Structures are given as C-alpha cells and as structure tokens.
Structure 1
Amino acid sequence: MGAMAMKIYNGYAFAVLFAIVVFGSFMANSATTGTMDMSTAILLRVDQLGNGDFKKIQDAIDAVPSNNSGLYFIWVKPGTYREKLQVPADKPFITLSGTLASNTIITWGDTGEIIQSATLSVFASDFVAKSLTIQNTFGTSGKAVALRVEGDRVAFYGCKILSYQDTLLDDAGRHYYSNCYIEGATDFICGNAASLFERCHVHSLSTVDGAITAQHRNSPSEDTGFTFSGCKITGVGAALLGRPWGPYSRVVFALTYMSSVVLPQGWDDWGDQSKQSTVYYGEYQCYGPGANRTKRVGWSKSLSNQEATPFLTKDMIGGQGWLRPSPTHFKRGSTIVKANVP
C-alpha cells in the first residue's frame, strides 16, 4: 500500500473508530471504578489483511498483560474470523469492538459439553463487547454455545449471538445486554447470571415448543435471574418463554413485544411439578399476540407496578456502579490520540 493510500486508510480507520466510540458512549452509563482512568485505553488493532497489530483476535487478547491495571481497546476490522476465543480471568477491562455486527463476525462450529463448546468464552471481569456477530455453526443436533459469560460486570452492545441449542450460556456474574440480537431454538438463553436485557431482539428457531430461557437459579438466596425490558420476541414456529433449569429459576419479561410465536401457556415446569411453587416467572405490561395471559400457566405471575419496579432499572445488576463509557483517547506506544482525530 502506497503512502497516500495508507494515509487515506488510516484516516478512514480513525473516522470509523470514532463512530464506534460515540455509539458506545451513548449506549453506556457512566461508571466509577476506583481511581482507574476511564478516558484513555491502549489500542490494539486486528486486521486479517495485515494492516493492524495482529491478524487474529486471540493474539490481541493474549497480548494484554496479566492483571492489567488499565483499559485495553481491541478494535477488530471487518471480516470473518474463524476462531475459538477465550478472555482469561486475569485480563480485566478489555473492550472487544467491531465496526458493525453485520460485517465483523467471530465464528466456530463446536459441540460437546456445554461449557466447552463456546465460540467465545469470557472469564474476565469488566469486559465489554460491541458491534460483533458471535456464532456457533455446529447445527441442530446438540449443545452448541456461541457465547459463554462467566466474568462479573460484563456488557454487550449491538451484538448478534447466534446458534441453535444453548446459544448464550449466561453462566455467572452480573451482565448487561443492550440492543443485541439473540437467536436459537432450545434453551438458548441459559445459565445462572444476574442479567438485564434491554431493547434486545430475541428470535426463536423452534418449530414446536422450544424454550427461550432456561435460568439456573438454585436457591432463593441467590440474587440471580434474567430480566428482559423493552425487548421483542419473534420466531418461526412456537416457543415457550422459559423452563426451569434450576428449581428457583427467575425470569421477568417487561414492556416486551411478544409475537404469536409465544405459546399460550407461556411457561413449562420441565416435567417437575414441585418447581411450580419455587420458580419466579413474571410478565409486566407486555404486548402483542403472544402476550395474552388468558391461558398462561397459573404459577406464572402478572406483575403489579410495585412488583415490577425492582426489575426495571440497572440497579438490579448494580450497573450504575460499573457500566462505563467508551474511552475518548487511545494510546499507541507513547502517543495518545483523541478518538476524533482523522
């Protein structure tokens, strides 16, 4: 690439990066994380064509030092990255960002044990992902996790998460999903995290009675559960809102559009009637043909304003204290560059 072409390329690159950062800043709440400088991040670029710091995403993650004390921003240029990725627990405060979910794709096709099949596994705390497609292309015949999240204080913005069975293993910790698209057929949002899904599109591939959620809360003392607020549910056939992986499974749908894909009974006890008295399955001011509660199972709840209030803010995940804005400056070597520098 010639000098002039490289200059134009770099100018375009920073313009796109600025767009990503501005988008993220609107999407995230301000945070307080001790004395760490949240305005400046070390920038690592991933480009399959070799016009970055790394050609593979995992190489960029591996380059972050263990127990890092500052922000790292891994910018993934458009492309399809065939990688099975892990973000280790000793590498917090990483942002992994594409340009658009439609053109920045992380894909793998594994199956087997649910905790081993994930295309992307996040064990680190304070991780953020933006504008990425994360998919498992294994197919319809077994467990195939696209995304496993076990770290605490983890957020996803504008991502597409795609598979068939167990698509999103929302395993443990406090998590936030904003404007994400999540697709699957069987128990495709599962695990025992405390998670808030805001303005997300949930799409069921089930043709008969596959469950959207399989929340795994095991005890009434566990402060975990899934809340879907202002979301949209669509599908190709018929689906349940959820079934209990754990006996104290807790799921709430609030202010959510439900298409006719949602079965009239709404929920299932997974063949164990004893769970009917211990689960917490609630709906609040949902709408659409699938939101009609006339034939809902009697052990699900139509929530009052008072009952719904604790589920309608980021306080349920402590988000006001840890959701952070995007950095406004990027550091490369000893140089600090503003996000809007062309």
Structure 2
Amino acid sequence: MGCCGDAANINIYSRAIHFMFILAVAVVPFGSLRAAKVDIDMSTAILLKVDQSGDGDFVKIQDAIDAVPSNNQQVYFILVKPGTYREKIVVAADKPFITLSGTKPFDTIITWSEGGEIFRSATLTVLASNFVGRYLTIQNKFGTSGKAVAVRVSGDKAAFYGCRFLSYQDTLLDDAGKHYFNNCYIEGATDFIFGNAASLYERCHLHSLSKGNGSITAQKRITRSENTGFTFLGCKVTGIGVAFLGRPWGAYSRVIFAHTYMSNVIAPQGWDDWQDQTKHSTVYYGEYKCYGPGADTSKRVQWSHRLSQDEAAPFLTKDMIGGRGWLRPTPKNFKRPSKL
C-alpha cells in the first residue's frame, strides 16, 4: 500500500486543503494567488552556525532553529558545517524566513529512521512559511517495510536548492502550499513524491527504486477548483525497474512532465489509475516535449494528455507558483545575533 493508508489523517488533511486553495476555474497555472507582502530586508541575514565539533553557535540543528525568535521579521541563515546529524527536525509554524544550508549535499547529512504515520515520521518537517533548504542530504533510513517520510513540507513558499531526499516509500510529502525545488535529487520506490502542494520541480533528478510497478508521484488534488499540482520541468527520470509517472491519490490529481528525460524505467502506459476508472475523467496528467526511451507516448493511457504548446505554456515558468513574488536570492550580507 502507498501513502493512502491513514484514513483519519487523510480526511482531516483533505478538508484543510479544500479551504486553502479555492479558485474558480478548473485548469489554471498553479499558485496564481497573490500573497500578502512582508517588508523584510532579504539581502541581509542573521547568521547562526551549527558545528558538531563545538566550533559554532550550536552542535544540533534543532537547537539553532529553536533559537530563532517566534514570528521573526528577519531572515535567519543557519549554516550547517559538514557532518552526519542524527536528528529529527521540525521548523515550527512560528519560525518563518529561515534558510537551512549545508555546503555540499554529500557532506552535510541529516538522517533519522522512523516509519509509520506519514505526518509524523519525517526526518525534516517544515511547517513555517518562507523556508529555504540548500545543499543538504535528508534521509529516512527506515527501509523497505513501510511508509517512511524523509521530508514533509507543509509551510507556504518553501524552496529547496541542490538537496537530496532519500527514502523508499513516501520519501517527499509535498503537503501544502507553494513550493519550488531546483536541482534536487529525489529517490524512492512507492509514491515517493506525494501530497497536495502547488509545486515546480526544475532540473531535478527523480530516481525510482521500484522493482515492479511503483509510482513516482501520488498527487492529491481533490476538487476541480483547487490550485494545486506538480510540474516537472527539465528533469531527469531514472530507476532500476519499472515505474509509473503517477497515480491519483486525489480524484483531480494533476501532474505535468515537460522537457524531461525519461529512461526506459517508465512503463509504456505511463500512468496508473489506482484501480479506479472513475478518475479517468477527472485527473489531469500531461506530457510535453519529453525525450528518452521512456518518453514514447504511443502506448500511453488514453486518459492522459499530450500537451500542445498553448496547453503547456502556463506550467513552464515560475509564474505558475507565483514565484516572482516570494522566491528570494541568497543574502549578500550577514550579521551575528546580538545574543544567543
């Protein structure tokens, strides 16, 4: 079973999402809602250092996050020195504008081992808005025997650059909000990118560990009016067995692959209906100018879409997640905290 085994949590989650993303049209660019402006100097950040050797402000990542004032109105840049950090980390909802950065993803590793409930098992949980993750490996080493989330992203306006997400089942819970993933590596076997966010994945590498018919995505858009879905733009898909591009966690599941290389890991039919043919008329699964041996659409299921240029255009820029209004550059200036 994939990510949909926790019925009680799914019902609560579905009701919450329904009220978060209400729009009036069926197929619109993801994330076109305007967010309220916050007057914050994005060019300057307060620098906190985490170093396991003790040559920093903190030896644990969670301690550095907890040191950020509640409802802060400044950017905090938490620099994590190389090492393997065995921590289960939560960025609380009242800790916005945090950047958590390593130097190289293979050198800076956050690891945990926990399976079970998808909303609680994550190695890293992001509940705050305006979070940025950079150059980190985040893994859940629970193994192949059940759900084990590496990263849960439930805060709005979150971005990840050059990160690696590793697990087996349900690796990345791309839960709710507008999100951006750039040059990230995401690995898993079953529903390993799932949730109901409005997200753009750009130049990311998706690697399937499925030996059978695992699914890369399980997007959970549940009504026609929800402004959510996943777009994979300029990505690469590889694997070791056979995998589907996606299956519908929600009846109106929406996933687009564009300008993406697909190895022969992709099953010829491309998409799976999760044994529910009633979703054929409601899901929105599209491909546009993909290439590679797995991109042949001649045997795709008839309820998926081969997009025209006009149909694909709304999904091919950061405008689809309103990114021009919230994606922020790396700070140019740093200052030390007045006290810790």
TM-score by length of 2: 0.88
Which residue is equivalent to 2:178?
174
Residue 326 (structure 1) aligned with residue 330 (structure 2): yes
What per-residue deviation string (whole Å, max 9, x for no partner) do you get for residues 11-43 of structure 1? Answer: xxxxxxxxxxxxxxxxxxxx9954211111110
Which residue is equivalent to 2:84?
80
Which residue is equivalent to 1:295?
299
What per-residue deviation string (whole Å, max 9, x for no partner) do you get for residues 224-243 of structure 1? Answer: 00000000000001100000
Q: What is the root-mean-square deviation in Å for CA atoms of aligned residues?
A: 1.3
Give the Cα separation in 2 of the matches to 1:127 and 1:308. Answer: 28
> Identity of counterpart residues, as a percentage?
73
What per-residue deviation string (whole Å, max 9, x for no partner) do you get for residues 293-323 of structure 1? Answer: 1110000000000000000001110000000
Which residue is equivalent to 1:222?
226
What per-residue deviation string (whole Å, max 9, x for no partner) do you get for residues 270-291 of structure 1? Answer: 0100001100000000000000
Give the Cα separation in 2 of the matches to 1:142 and 1:256. Answer: 29
- Residue in structure 2 matching 1:206, options 210, 213, 216: 210
Q: Is the 8 A contact 2:47 2:337 kept in 1?
A: no
Matches within 5 A, 1:55-204: 55-204=59-208
- Residue in structure 1 matching 2:319, options 315, 320, 327: 315
Unaligned runs of 5+ in 1: 1-30, 336-342
Give the Cα separation in 1 of the matches to 2:176 and 2:163. Answer: 19
The alignment partner of 2:329 has SS state of: coil
Give the Cα separation in 2 of the matches to 1:60 and 1:303. Answer: 46
Q: Is the 8 A contact 1:87 1:123 kept in 2?
A: yes
Displacement of 1:57 after TM fit?
0.1
Q: Is the 8 A contact 1:32 1:322 kept in 2?
A: no
Q: Is the 8 A contact 2:258 2:289 kept in 1?
A: yes
Q: Is the 8 A contact 1:42 1:331 kept in 2?
A: yes
Give the Cα separation in 1 of the matches to 2:38 and 2:96. Answer: 14
The alignment partner of 1:276 has SS state of: helix
Unaligned runs of 5+ in 2: 1-34
The aligned length equals 305
Letter in 2 for 1:298: Q
Larger radius of gyration: 1
Q: Is the 8 A contact 1:145 1:163 kept in 2?
A: yes
TM-score by length of 1: 0.88
Which residue is equivalent to 1:277?
281
Which residue is equivalent to 2:271?
267
Displacement of 1:333 after TM fit?
3.7
Q: Is the 8 A contact 1:32 1:324 kept in 2?
A: no
